[in-house]
Amino acid sequence: MSRARRFVTVVSGIPRAGTSLVMQMLAAGGMPLLTDAARPPDPDNPRGYFEYAAVKGIARDAGFVALAVGRALKVVAPLVRHLPATLAYRVLLVERRMDEVLASQERMLVRRGAVEPDAIAPERLAEIYAAQLAEARAWIAATPGAEALAVAHGELLRDPARLAAAIAAFLGGGLDLAAMRAAVDPALHRQRSGRSAEWTPPPQSPIVRR
């Protein structure tokens, strides 16, 4: 059942956090997306990236964001602060264990030949990513028309039915929960933490609402 939504559904997070998976779930559930084919699927994201190229230039021109009202738009965490404050947003903030993010990012860069493995400084990258997430949360908290739901990547893979229901409820319902659940393939979880799979969110992250 389709449903009119007078807000932009933003899927955000740091790189390799699982934002493409959440976009895929929304598409399967019947949510219209604002995407293009500028970045095709590859071995790092075999089901696609679900991106919209204009997002990269959002700091210069954010006029396109109005096209995403009633749709889902993928915006990486450091660019969230450039979303026009004149619109309403429901932000799905995807969070993943930092060690898994770093392992996935390193593997992707090495595969592309963009950097040597020993040239990556994981501690510094972790600091940058943590700061980007904190900045995105601060923007959401300070923007009257923005609400957010934190989506734990590990929990999404362990219990997709519960997370699909939570996401659909947050977005006002009207999505196909069975299709959303079926879109989650745990086999794609290739960079796993060597520690316990239990995900512990930062203190400020479970749900941010205004």
Residue 64 has pLDDT above 50, yes or no: yes
Give the pLDDT mean for 92-120. 69
Q: Which residue has the higher pLDDT, 46 or 13?
A: 13
Question: What pLDDT score does 83 carry?
Answer: 98
Query: For the chain, what percent of residues have pLDDT higher than 70?
Result: 77
Confidence of residue 113 (pLDDT cuts 50, 70, 90): low
Residue 75 has pLDDT above 90, yes or no: yes
Residue 9 has pLDDT above 70, yes or no: yes
pLDDT digits (tens, 9 = 90+) for 162-210: 999 999 999 999 999 999 999 998 775 444 444 333 333 343 344 444 3
Question: What pLDDT score does 70 carry?
Answer: 97
What mean pLDDT is reported for the chain? Answer: 83
How far is Cα 154 from Cα 136, in angstroms, rounded to an integer? 21
Give the pLDDT mean for 96-105. 79
Residue 146 has pLDDT above 90, yes or no: yes
Confidence of residue 110 (pLDDT cuts 50, 70, 90): low
Question: What pLDDT score does 40 carry?
Answer: 76
Residue 77 has pLDDT above 70, yes or no: yes
Question: What pLDDT score does 200 carry?
Answer: 36
DSSP the chain: -----SSEEEEE-STTSSHHHHHHHHHHHT--B---SSS--BTTBTT-----GGGGGTTT--GGGGGGTTSEEE--GGGGGGS-TTS-EEEEEEE--HHHHHHHHHHHHHHHTSS-GGG--HHHHHHHHHHHHHHHHHHHHH-TTEEEEEEEHHHHHH-HHHHHHHHHHHTTS-S-HHHHHHT--GGG--S--SS-S-----TT-SEE--
Q: Which residue has the higher pLDDT, 15 or 51?
A: 51
Query: What CATH architecture applies to the domain 8-208?
Result: 3-Layer(aba) Sandwich (3.40)
Listed by start position, the domains of the chain span 8-208
